[in-house]
Amino acid sequence: MRHMPNDTIIVSVGSEELVIAFGDPGLPVDGRGGNDVMIATVDGGPSSLLFVGDESTLNGRSHGGNDLLVATVEGRLPYVSLDGDAQIMSDQAHGGNDVLHVEASNATFANVYLSGDAELAMTGNAKGGNDLITAEMGDRSYGAFSGDSGSLMSGNAQGGHDIVSVMQTGASGNASISGDAFVSMIGDARGGNDILIYTVGADAQSGSASVFGDASDMNDNARGGNDILIAAVDGNPDSTSIVLVGDASQMTGNARGGNDILYGSDRGDLLYGDARAYNPFIGGAITGGRDILNGGGGNDQLWGGPNNDLFVFGAGSGQDVVSDFNQGNKAGGSTAPEHDVIDVHAYGFAGWADLKSLISDDSAGNAVIQLTASDSITLDGIHAADLHARDFIV
């Protein structure tokens, strides 16, 4: 296996400039990329930067190096794309363990695209590295972040175990984060076990993000990893719109969700243990994970999805709604029974009798658990009389 050198590449991208750089140009099939350091300063946009840690394509038994890619971005309308390894990975290619960082707090109207391994596709038996991806986003900017592929994972492609952390530091902005493929996982693609964090910074006026543990779409026999998704709001913004989804926005065919853990912010969030929408090949073909959902403060709406999920509520949890309590399998077209559980241990009730006295139906016939004067849980489609001690951790 030919080893490529470890390079240091430093570039400056000025107004109306386009800079493209590869860490290991000419990397041969079955070669091994060097461990490169690539640093860019982007200012005075509109401007455009593309950094690729190794080479445009990685195929055969090629192995990407462990690269460090950093961009400091300022000005208006910069476009920044960082790929840890390649644009396309196929065959037995392996991504390196890369570190990608963009500091774009002072940019406006920026477009930032970070992919831990391949920009466009991972096919065959390609395997993603374990990457660390971090970004600070400025005002009126958009960022798309993926732990492995910036678009597609197919065949037997396997995502790495990545950490992605994005902060909205500017007044307003929008981010989309996927632990594995940014768009689709098809065939037998498998997601890694990722940690995804979205933070609305102390000075932000609004923050908006969609966070998917694995991909936007999971089709065929795609399988989600066991991911941890966390949202946080540091300051007191006018508005937030945060959606956490343990696996994919849509699960189709025979897709299988991982066992994910979701923590919402102190604002009203939307949390989905598996997917937002299901389109099974036949009834029950989609398997959900055993997920843990904690909306945090604010008035949250929660869906565990198929399989047995745990909903956790702590003091100050707000007025939350569980939309599919014991009904997640039905959403996946299955009639198999399901047993979700609600954990209210943090409230310190003496026992089931105490808790039971706080549960009644609202005017629409949905069970409401009135935890405190300001904290409640509404279970859509469930009556108070349907609930038993076994449904709770007291």
Piece of the chain touching Ca ion by CB under 5 A; list 24-32, 218-226, 277-285, 378-386: 218-226
* Residue span binding Ca ion (CB under 5 A) among the ranges 35-43, 198-206, 250-258, 338-346: 250-258
Phi (first) and psi of residue 353, to 5 degrees: -60, -40
* Binder of Ca ion out of 83, 139, 291, 324 (CB under 5 A): 291
**Which one, of 200, 198, 209, lies nearest residue 231 by Cα?**
198
Shorter beta-carbon distance to Ca ion: residue 139 or 194? 194
- Chosen residue from 262, 298, 313, 323 binding Ca ion by CB under 5 A: 298
| Contact flag: residue 237 with Ca ion (CB under 5 A) | no
Number of helices (H), then strands (E), in the chain? 2, 35
Please report how close the Cβ of residue 113 comes to Ca ion at its closest, in angstroms: 16
Q: Could you tell me if 196 and 164 are in contact, meaning their C-beta atoms sit under 8 angstroms apart?
A: yes
Q: Which of 45, 187, 207, 264 binds Ca ion (CB under 5 A)?
A: 264
- C-alpha 363/C-alpha 86 separation (Å) is 57
| Binding residue for Ca ion, selected from 75, 96, 187, 246, defined by CB under 5 A | 246
Tokens 């102390």 locate to 202
Q: Which residues 182-211 are close enough to bind Ca ion by CB under 5 A?
A: 192, 194
Beta bridge partners of 361: 367
Encoded tokens for 167 = 């902060």
Q: Does position 296 bind Ca ion by CB under 5 A?
A: yes
Partners of 75 in the β-ladder: 107
CB of 218 to Ca ion, least distance (A): 9
Is residue 247 within the footprint of Ca ion (CB under 5 A)? yes
Closer of 84 and 225 to Ca ion (Cβ): 225
95 binds Ca ion (CB under 5 A): no
Kindly indicate which of the ranges 105-113, 298-306, 349-357, 361-369 contains the residues binding Ca ion, using the contact rule CB under 5 A.
298-306
Distance CA 8, CA 24 (A): 11
From 330, 218, 217, 210, select the one nearest 271 (Cα to Cα): 210
Tell the smallest beta-carbon distance from residue 118 to Ca ion (Å).
12
Classify burial at 26, counting beta carbons within 10 Å of its beta carbon; exposed 0-12, middle 13-18, buried 19 or more.
exposed
Q: Which is nearer to Ca ion, 54 or 247 (CB)?
A: 247
Beta bridge partners of 228: 195, 261
Residues in the interface with Ca ion (CB under 5 A) total: 33
Q: Is 295 in the site for Ca ion (CB under 5 A)?
A: yes
What's the angle, vertex CA 44, arms to CA 40 and CA 50, rounded to 5? 35
Pick from 54, 260, 338, 391 the residue near Ca ion by CB under 5 A.
Answer: 260
Window contacting Ca ion (CB under 5 A); options: 55-63, 143-151, 348-356, 361-369: 143-151
Shortest separation between residue 258's beta carbon and Ca ion, angstroms:
3
What SS3 class is residue 5?
Answer: coil
Supply the minimum distance, in Å, between the C-beta of residue 168 and Ca ion: 16
Stretch that binds Ca ion, among 33-41, 181-189, 263-271, 334-342 (CB under 5 A): 263-271
Closest CA to 149 of 129, 109, 177, 120: 120
- Using CB under 5 A as the binding rule, whether residue 323 contacts Ca ion is answered as no
**Chain centroid offset of residue 347 CA:** 30
The answer to whether residue 224 forms part of the interface with Ca ion (CB under 5 A) is yes
Answer yes or no: are the C-beta atoms of 271 and 262 closer than 8 Å.
yes
What are the backbone angles phi and psi of residue 352, rounded to the nearest 5°?
-60, -40
Interface ranges with Ca ion (CB under 5 A): 147-148, 159-160, 162, 179-180, 192, 194, 213-214, 224-225, 227, 246-247, 258, 260, 264, 269, 273-274, 288-289, 291, 295-296, 298, 300, 304-305, 307, 309
